Amino acid sequence: MKRNTRLFLLTGLLALSLLGCNLLALPRLLEQPTATLRAEPQGEAPVPTPKPARIEVVATPTPLPPTAVQEADAEEQLLINIYKRVNPAVANIRVAKRVKGFRFEFEIPGFPQGPEESPVPGEGSGFVYDKEGHIVTNNHVVEGAEEIEVTFSDGTIVEAEVVGMDPDSDLAVLKVNLPPEGLHTVELGDSDRLEVGQRVIAIGNPFGLNGTMTTGIISALGRTLSLGPISTTVGGRFSIPELIQTDAAINPGNSGGPLLDSQGRVIGVNTAITSLSGSFAGVGFAVPVNLVKRVVPELIEKGRYAYPWLGITGIALHPQVVEAMDLPVERGALVTEVISGGPAEKVGLRGGDKDRTIEVQGREIPLGGDVIIAIDGVEVKSMEDIIIYLVRETKVGQRVKLTIIRDGREMRIEVELAERPRE
């Protein structure tokens, strides 16, 4: 009996001990966000649900290797330094042009006549070429402008006048009257040494946003720009050879601004974009700086640039043309037309026969013309090769030797180059 009584007392003490532990733990349980206590509806006021504990998130970014951080910092600093050095030499160009308005041939009661001419504002970019105040920009930026105003990065605003224009390279030169110490010039690079994939930087004034920098790479080299699906209006009648293609963002207002290499040297003049919307779509073009080096000094001295001219139009050979004409070569430039009175006509170069054509990719090609396979011994694979050679290597009045295929036989003809017609 006593033994059972002691066992009962021990069991009771153990139960009370466990109950005490649970009661002590109850407040901590109430603090847990997963613990929710609700009173059973018995006509009494409900027990409020305790607020969950606030959870603090501690950011733990993945650490970068020290070398990666150093490389990122170095690239960032490179761009910062280029901007600080070059942006003072970049100009925002605002122009006022007059365009023909609308005039009815007869009066309509209650409908007033429109103005014969109305002013239209325009914008572009440029860069200081020398300490004499010459600024390089695009021809299409200032063509037809009656007033030109230039704004620099420090807020200086000054009027400018046109010194020379060249629609065939889409280049123009302006002049501002500022003291040399107030002008920051750029360094010109070498566009013959560029590589696809090379980093490039554009600085300009897209949509009038002064001093905007964008970056990208050289997407391609040696592009030839002719009239086509180009959003920028390029006024020349001849193709511009050796353009630089870039994916650095270029928009309306960038025209005429510099395209730079990673040393901050000018390698091109931003000129045009290919776009269906009118805004940047990833394909921009810049006039190579080595063409700038040839054209700009002539524009400053003479106001215009004289291009050597052969007086032909042509296309690269296509396999269908080679087969149709039974040619002994597969590469070359087929002469489709010889311009009347031009140098080529004077020496008897033959164009295609309009009554004998072949359709190639939806285009009618006249057959029977001479095929140019070399100029001064330099191989010709396309019409672009001829344009590039004439622009880079020749002058007006110079004689060149053409190697041609005529009637299946190879011949050589010497031609004296004339100046491109301006009308």
Among 2.40.10.10, 3.40.50.1820, 3.20.20.70, 3.40.190.80, what is the CATH number of 191-302? 2.40.10.10
**225 in Cβ contact with 269 (< 8 Å):** no
Give Cβ neighbours of residue 246 (< 8 Å, ≥ 6 apart). Answer: 200, 202, 216, 217, 218, 219, 259, 284, 285, 286
User: What pLDDT is attached to residue 21?
Assistant: 44
Cα–Cα distances in angstroms (integers) from residue 61 to residues 68, 76, 367, in the given order: 15, 21, 68
Distance of CA 217 to the CA centre of its chain: 10
Question: SS3 for 205?
Answer: coil
In sequence order, what DSSP letters do the residues of 52-65 get, joined into one string? PPPPPPPP-PPPPP
Predicted local confidence at residue 75, as pLDDT: 85
The predicted-structure confidence for 345-398, as pLDDT tens digits, reads as follows 999 999 999 889 899 988 899 999 999 999 999 999 999 999 999 999 999 999
The whole-angstrom separation of Cα 250 and Cα 281 is 9
* 8 phi/psi in degrees, rounded to 5: -65, -40
Q: Are 284 and 220 in contact (CB under 8 A)?
A: no
The answer to whether 96 and 145 have CB atoms below 8 angstroms apart is: yes
Contact between 198 and 327 (Cβ < 8 Å)? no
Backbone angles phi, psi at 142, to 5 degrees: -110, -5
The gap from C-alpha 100 to its chain's centroid, in whole angstroms, comes to: 31
Distance CA 79, CA 401 (A): 47
Fold classified for 308-419: Pdz3 Domain (2.30.42)
Per CATH, the number for 86-102+117-182 is 2.40.10.10
Which residues are part of the catalytic machinery?
140, 170, 255
Q: How far is it, in rounded angstroms, from Cα 244 to Cα 241?
A: 9
Helices (H), 213-352: 289-302, 319-325, 343-346
Rounded (5°) CA angle 321-327-331? 70
Domain ranges of the chain: 86-102+117-182, 191-302, 308-419
Q: How far is the CA of 423 from the CAs of 158, 237, 304, 416, in angstroms?
A: 33, 9, 14, 21
Average pLDDT, the chain: 83
- Residue 230: the pLDDT is 35
User: Strand locations in 325-379, DSSP E?
Assistant: 333-338, 353-360, 363-367, 371-375, 378-379
Distance CA 266, CA 257 (A): 10
How does pLDDT run across 139-155, given as a tens digit for each residue?
999 998 999 999 999 99
Kindly list the distances between the CA atom of residue 343 and the CA atoms of 37, 48, 65, in Å, as whole numbers in the listed order: 101, 100, 66
Question: Which pair of structure tokens corresponds to residue 251?
Answer: 């928009």
Question: Which tokens hold the place of 153?
Answer: 């990065």
How many of the other CB atoms lie within 10 Å of CB of 238?
A: 15
Please, what's the largest Cα pairwise distance for the chain?
A: 143
List the chain residues with pLDDT less than 70.
Answer: 1-50, 52-53, 57-60, 68, 72, 99-119, 226-237, 278-279, 423
In angstroms, rounded to a whole number, what is the distance separating the alpha carbons of residues 218 and 197? 5
Distance CA 286, CA 295 (A): 15
Establish whether domains 86-102+117-182 and 191-302 are of one fold.
yes
For residue 30, report the phi and psi dihedrals to the nearest 5 degrees: -65, -25
Contact between 136 and 171 under an 8 Å Cβ cutoff? The reply is yes
pLDDT computed for residue 36 by the predictor: 43
Give the H or E element holding residue 139.
Answer: helix 139-142
| Structure confidence at residue 124 (pLDDT) | 95
**Cα 101 to Cα 112: distance, rounded to the nearest angstrom:** 13
